[in-house]
Amino acid sequence: MNDKAANFTTLSERSILDQASKNMIDPLGRDLAQKVCWKYLEGISKNDNECYPIAITGRGNPLLLLHGFDSSFLEFRRLVPLLSNKNKLYIPDLFGFGFCPRSSSNYGLKEIINHINAVINLLPKNSSIGIIGASMGGGIAMEIARQLPKRINRMLLLSPAGLIGKSVKVCRPLDKLGVWILQQKYVRKNLCKQAFANPQKSVGPPEEEIASIHLNIEGWAKSLATFARSGGVSNTALPLPDQPTKVIWGRNDRILNKTLRDKCKKLILCSHEELNDCGHLPHLDNPKFVSDTWNSIW
């Protein structure tokens, strides 16, 4: 699924994703990568040659999926087949993450929101849009819902991060040191395992490959360091958006501890569900429950 704009996108981003769509170990990852369209985004693209990746698939009501920190659209690979029969899915890489081009000098929450707004402007006018936000994508979804109360109809948040807490701006040179640490293979392998409820069963070469493949994008280190200096995503819960919202947590989440989860539950007055045998990634540990929740409850 490529439109005319795809011919002009930066070679480094597209070539890496094209290779992934052919050679990735995970067949669901390969299939989702083949559904990427490269789009010129008004107000975001610096010129006609700069396009941004959005996986688009399915039919039905528009549904926007927002991934987490230092990740990509590929984290929704297990959820997409379960949602695409009833929903038209739009899965962008967040600005400064995934396979996006890195020509900007600013990467932070403001820039991410502007980018998502530009993506939403590509959707049919006056369409009512749902959002599923995972981890940091959940915090971003809250801000999008506040800004676009007439466009966003409901939200499902999966282990949402960035809801509470103060913004912590990482100063130089600690920003680059943090990026260097995140770049190490053993660190990424351990982080990947930490995200799942049962890493010995659930984590192998396919998961480790997808967790790190976007590190090959030119500018990955620069954008991540700049994002760290910006303070990242924090304190996005209040004021609470008016849209119907449900939150799914993993009982075995080793990234968001129980104390933090309980604070968020008290703050966000909506339906919460905590899953057994589920870590920080409900859409990977239990995609069927997530899809059933979205398709059946609302």
DSSP the chain: ---GGGGGS-HHHHHHHHHHHHH-S-HHHHHHHTTEEEE--TTT-SSTT--EEEEEEE-SEEEEEE--TT--GGGGTTTHHHHTTTEEEEEEPPTTSTT-----S--SHHHHHHHHHHHHTTSPTT--EEEEEETHHHHHHHHHHHH-TTTEEEEEEES--SSSS---PPPTTHHHHHHHHHHSHHHHHHHHHHHSSSHHHH-SHHHHHHHHGGGGSTTHHHHHHHHHHHT-S-----SPPSS-EEEEEETT-SSS-HHHHHHHHHHS-SEEEEETT--S-HHHH-HHHHHHIIIII-
Q: What is the pLDDT of residues 273-291, one digit of tens each?
A: 999 999 999 999 999 999 9
What proportion of the chain, given as a percentage, has pLDDT over 70?
96
Q: Give tens-digit pLDDT for 58-116.
A: 999 999 999 999 999 999 999 999 999 999 999 999 999 999 999 999 999 999 999 99
19 pLDDT higher than 80: yes
Give the pLDDT band (50/70/90) at residue 10: very low
**Structural domain tally of the chain?**
1
For 113-137, the pLDDT digits (tens) are 999 999 999 999 889 999 999 999 9
The answer on pLDDT for 5 being more than 60 is no
Predicted local confidence at residue 2, as pLDDT: 40
User: Is the confidence at residue 30, as pLDDT, over 50?
Assistant: yes
Residue 248 has pLDDT above 60, yes or no: yes
Residue-wise pLDDT for 140-166, tens only, equals 999 999 999 999 999 999 999 999 999
Query: What is the pLDDT at residue 298?
Result: 59
Paired strand residues for 64: 90, 131
Burial environment of residue 228 by CB neighbours within 10 A (0 to 12, 13 to 18, 19 or more): buried
Residue 7 is predicted with a pLDDT of 38
Handedness of CA 68, 138, 122, 44 (dihedral sign): negative
**pLDDT at residue number 11:** 53
- Residue 297 is predicted with a pLDDT of 64
Q: What proportion of the chain, given as a percentage, has pLDDT over 90?
A: 94
Tell me, what amino acid is at 49? N
pLDDT at res. 12: 84
Torsion of CA 31, 39, 110, 228, to 10 degrees: 50
- Please report, for residues 20, 93, 169, 175, the alpha-carbon distance to residue 132 in angstroms, rounded to integers and kept in the order given: 24, 14, 27, 29
Q: Which amino acid is at 25?
A: I
Strands 87-92, 52-58: parallel, antiparallel or unpaired by DSSP? Answer: antiparallel
CATH number for the domain including 101?
Answer: 3.40.50.1820
Average pLDDT over residues 235-253: 96
Neighbour tally for 84: CB within 10 Å: 17
Average pLDDT over residues 190-194: 96
CA distance 141 to 241: 10
Q: What is the pLDDT of residue 91?
A: 98
pLDDT at 42 over 60: yes
Report the pLDDT averaged over residues 34-40: 97
- Residue ranges making up the domain that contains 121: 4-297
Retrieve residue 9's tokens: 């996108």
pLDDT, the chain, mean: 94
Question: How sure is the predictor about 6, in pLDDT bands with cuts at 50, 70 and 90?
Answer: very low
Check residue 9 and give its pLDDT. 45
Mean pLDDT (whole number) for 15-21: 94
